[in-house]
């Protein structure tokens, strides 16, 4: 098993992978353009921020699994990976504490003008009177867009701080919000209008791209806060540039549209940087999160090695379109299932999914095949009469 790690991963995780018998190659400073030359015969690719595109996958004939050592997978061409039969897996929830901590930090920094405080002090300016003006967070209304693992943690911390918390999420119902002690917003626009602070915790997708657009920003309260520690594509940065000054919105961003890669040194959005409190996409960058993610990467590889299926697959089809289940009880002998597959192939029936379970003692097994068409009675009889078949039936 040959593994390419094209990003930083803990030494303990590398040792654990090597202890499995894997051949591990480390390229922690690799950029997207370097991958095609690095893939060689890699079977598993592990990345954090490095983008994985078509060129990288085309250069890796042995590649069968890409692991995103983090939650979001917008840096990986999922559609192309699926077309090539390459599994993509991630590590959901393992960086939730770290991102939630940074979100709360940004919230406090905006309220107390911590960045401008520090800049003035470093320039020899003392302005205690000016910086003593802050509204405070207790009693203010925090609106959370996206109530996954990170949004839920932010909500819990904010509640402890005495804030009123409300949320919108596609999966959130009014009853569930009530159970969690949260206000329920039927739409993102309802949340924009009624929140003193908006914090974004959504995955990047076609549905969420520019969800926070001009109309959303215009609906926000005067002098409200907007914090984004999720994905840059969710906020229309052009609209943000135009509106944040005129409405006196206070903005904190850890992510940006078209942001540089981890190995790049120049930030292109200098005009935007002058208007915000910003960090360098470091939400998940704590030792605690790195250790948790590294441990999960090892578990994903272990699962894939033992079962052929990774934990947390993100590009597997949610539900099979197969309409027929063929259940074949058989003796555990060489070639039994091959004969069954030949019969189905000759009948032009495709197998969507297949699972074979061995009974204790190892003498018998049962195989379930999900089929895209119904086998005729003739085919069923043919399979049932094969050597070492106990019974074949449709369910």
Strand partners, 327: 368, 393
C-alpha to C-alpha distance for 66 and 387, rounded to whole angstroms: 41
Cα 376 to Cα 392: distance, rounded to the nearest angstrom: 12
Structure tokens at 76: 């990986």
Fold for domain 96-283?
Answer: Rossmann fold (3.40.50)
Residues designated as active site:
231, 259, 281
Q: Which CATH number fits domain 324-394: 3.40.640.10, 3.40.50.720, 3.40.1190.20, 3.30.70.260?
A: 3.30.70.260
Query: pTM for this structure?
Result: 0.78
At 261 the pLDDT is 75
Task: Tell me what pLDDT residue 63 has.
Answer: 96
Cα R_g (the chain), whole angstroms: 26
Q: Where does residue 139 fall: left (phi above 0), alpha (psi -120 to 50 degrees), or beta otherwise?
A: left
Q: Specify the pLDDT at position 143.
A: 98
The strand pairing partners of 252, in sequence order, are 227, 277
Say whether 324-394 and 2-94+288-307 share the same fold.
no
Three-state SS across the chain? CEEEECCCCCHHHHHHHHHCCCEEEECCCCCHHHHHHHCCCCCEEEECCCCECHHHHHCCCCCCEEEECCCCCCCECHHHHHHCCCEEECCCCCCHHHHHHHHHHHHHHHHHCHHHHHHHHHCCCCCHHHHCCCCCCCCCEEEEECCCHHHHHHHHHHHHCCCEEEEECCCCCHHHHHHCCCEECCCHHHHHHHCCEEEECCCCCCCCCCCECHHHHHHCCCCCEEEECCCHHHECHHHHHHHHHHCCCEEEECCCCCCCCCCCCCCCCHHHHCCCEECCCCCCCCHHHHHHHHHHHHHHHHHHHHHCCCCCECCCCCCCCCCEEEEEEEECCCCHHHHHHHHHHHCCCCEEEEEEEECCCCCEEEEEEEECCCCCHHHHHHHHCCCCEEEEEEC
Work out the end-to-end distance of the chain between its first and last CA atoms, rounded to an integer number of angstroms.
38
Domain locations in the chain as residue ranges = 2-94+288-307, 96-283, 324-394
pLDDT for residue 178: 96
- Domain 2-94+288-307: what homologous superfamily? NAD(P)-binding Rossmann-like Domain (3.40.50.720)
Q: What is the pLDDT of residue 320?
A: 72
- Per-position pLDDT tens, the chain of length 395: 999 999 888 888 999 999 999 999 999 988 889 999 999 889 999 998 889 999 999 999 999 999 999 888 888 999 999 999 999 999 998 999 999 999 999 999 999 999 999 999 999 999 999 999 999 999 999 999 999 999 999 999 999 999 999 999 999 999 999 999 999 999 999 999 999 999 999 988 889 999 999 999 999 999 999 999 999 999 999 999 999 878 889 999 999 998 887 777 899 889 999 999 999 999 988 999 999 999 999 999 999 999 888 999 999 887 777 889 999 999 999 999 999 999 999 999 999 989 999 999 999 999 999 999 999 999 999 999 999 999 999 98
């Amino acid at each position: 098993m040959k593994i390419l790690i094209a990003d930083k991963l803990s030494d303990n995780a590398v040792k654990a992978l090597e202890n499995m018998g894997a051949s591990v190659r480390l390229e922690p400073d690799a950029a997207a353009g370097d991958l095609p030359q690095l893939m060689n015969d890699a079977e598993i690719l592990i990345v954090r921020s490095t983008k994985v595109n078509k060129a990288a996958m085309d250069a890796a004939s042995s590649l069968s699994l890409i692991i995103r050592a983090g939650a979001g997978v917008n840096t990986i061409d999922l559609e192309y990976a699926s077309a090539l039969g390459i599994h993509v897996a991630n590590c959901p929830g393992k960086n939730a504490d770290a991102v939630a901590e940074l979100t709360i930090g940004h919230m406090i920094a905006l309220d107390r003008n911590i960045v401008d405080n520090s800049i003035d002090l470093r320039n020899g300016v003392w302005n205690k009177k000016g910086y003593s003006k802050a509204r405070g967070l207790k009693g203010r209304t925090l609106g959370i867009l996206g109530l996954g693992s990170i949004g839920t943690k932010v909500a819990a911390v904010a509640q402890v701080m005495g804030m009123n918390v409300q949320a919108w999420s596609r999966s959130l119902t009014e009853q569930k919000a009530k159970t969690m002690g949260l206000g329920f917003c039927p739409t993102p626009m309802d949340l924009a209008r009624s929140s003193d602070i908006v914090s974004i915790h959504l995955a990047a997708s076609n549905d969420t791209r520019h969800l926070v657009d001009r109309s959303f920003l215009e609906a926000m309260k005067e002098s409200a806060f907007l914090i984004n520690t999720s994905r840059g594509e969710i906020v229309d940065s052009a609209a943000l540039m135009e509106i944040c000054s005129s409405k006196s919105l206070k903005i904190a961003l850890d992510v940006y549209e078209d942001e540089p890669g981890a190995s790049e040194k120049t930030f292109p959005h200098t005009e935007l940087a002058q208007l915000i409190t910003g960090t360098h996409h470091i939400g998940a960058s704590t030792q605690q999160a790195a250790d948790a993610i590294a441990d999960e990467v090892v578990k994903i590889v272990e699962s894939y090695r033992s079962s052929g299926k990774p934990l947390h697959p993100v590009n597997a089809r949610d539900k099979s379109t197969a309409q027929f289940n063929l259940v074949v009880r058989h003796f555990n002998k060489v070639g039994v299932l091959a004969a069954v597959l030949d019969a189905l192939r000759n009948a032009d029936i495709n197998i969507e999914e297949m699972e074979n379970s061995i009974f204790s003692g190892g003498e018998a097994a049962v195989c379930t095949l999900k089929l895209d068409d119904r086998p005729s009675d003739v085919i069923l009889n043919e399979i049932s009469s094969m050597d070492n078949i106990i019974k074949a039936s449709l369910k």
